[in-house]
Amino acid sequence: METIDYKLEAARKALTYVREGHTVGLGAGSTIAHLVRELAAAPGLRESISVVTASFNTRLLLQEHGFMIRETATVAQLDLHFDGCDQFDRSLTALKSGGGVHTLEKLLAAMAQRFILAGDGPKYVEKLLPTVPVVIELIPDALSFVQQALRRLYPDARPQLRLSNKKDGAVITERGNLLMDIFFTAFPPVAEINPQLKAIPGVLETSLFYRMAHEAIIAGKNGVTVVFP
């Protein structure tokens, strides 16, 4: 039996949003990689759009396909921004950072006139579940201080410094920072998480995209649907 790649289905739907002349933001992950390939294959589109990306891997793929890539620092507004996520709920609040680039991804999401999540069905839940951690990016000097602050703020949570798969120490982000995965047993009120974490000196950004997305494309066995908050 042929298996359907739902992320590809979501990417194909995302492609239909893009018009000639658009400035388009692209996040990270396999759904976005599908979208890059779909954009590259669409007649006339690649030459007429400009793209901005949060991810080194997405950038490499865009370069491979000859897209006009703009530096994020030169852009204040995007027509569209597409990104995947690890989980999102009915309010389109999303948990991200499988790829560890959420700080830049959130900046692009904030720049977008239309921020669209795209992914496969299992990521869509009624209410966020603590099966996915909230990730913070922090400056290395703040490591012990942030660990202490997290113990005081969330005594029941398990913060874990993200370690490299190669077992050679901590993951260092593209901007030289650390990542901390905070595993909750139960989430505190979701609206309070970002203000609490971002008030800790040394914390740059969290992977919780609180009510930022304007819509979400979900592909699953019932087809492709677009949901709004």
Point out the residues that are catalytic: 105
The single residue among 6, 8, 27, 219 that binds ligand 5RP, judged by CB under 6 A, is 27
- Note whether 103 binds ligand 5RP by CB under 6 A: no
The single residue among 23, 31, 87, 93 that binds ligand 5RP, judged by CB under 6 A, is 31
- Note whether 202 binds ligand 5RP by CB under 6 A: no
3-state secondary structure of 214: coil
For the bound state, the minimum distance from the C-beta of residue 189 to ligand 5RP, rounded and expressed in Å, comes to 23
The single residue among 9, 83, 137, 205 that binds ligand 5RP, judged by CB under 6 A, is 83
Taking each continuous run of H as one helix and of E as one strand, the counts in the chain are 7, 14
CA distance 32 to 84: 7
**55-85 CB burial, b ≥16 within 10 A, e <16:** beebbebbeeeebeebebeebeebbbbbbbb
- Note whether 133 binds ligand 5RP by CB under 6 A: no
- Note whether 97 binds ligand 5RP by CB under 6 A: yes
Stretch that binds ligand 5RP, among 28-36, 68-76, 157-165, 183-191 (CB under 6 A): 28-36
Stretch that binds ligand 5RP, among 43-51, 99-107, 150-158, 184-192 (CB under 6 A): 99-107
CA distance 202 to 191: 21
CA distance 137 to 111: 20
Task: Tell which residue, 206, 4, 225, has the closest CA to residue 117.
Answer: 225
> Which of residues 56 and 191 has its CB atom nearest to ligand 5RP in the complex?
56
A 10 A CB-CB count for 53 gives 27
The single residue among 13, 59, 81, 102 that binds ligand 5RP, judged by CB under 6 A, is 102
For the bound state, the minimum distance from the C-beta of residue 94 to ligand 5RP, rounded and expressed in Å, comes to 8
- Note whether 25 binds ligand 5RP by CB under 6 A: no
User: What tokens were used for 95?
Assistant: 């948990």
Contacts of 72 (CB under 8 A, 6+ apart): 52, 54, 104, 107, 108
Longest C-alpha distance within the chain, in Å? 55
Number of residues this chain uses to bind ligand 5RP (CB under 6 A): 18
The single residue among 101, 108, 116, 134 that binds ligand 5RP, judged by CB under 6 A, is 101
Contact footprint for ligand 5RP (CB under 6 A): 7, 27-31, 83-86, 96-99, 101-102, 105, 119
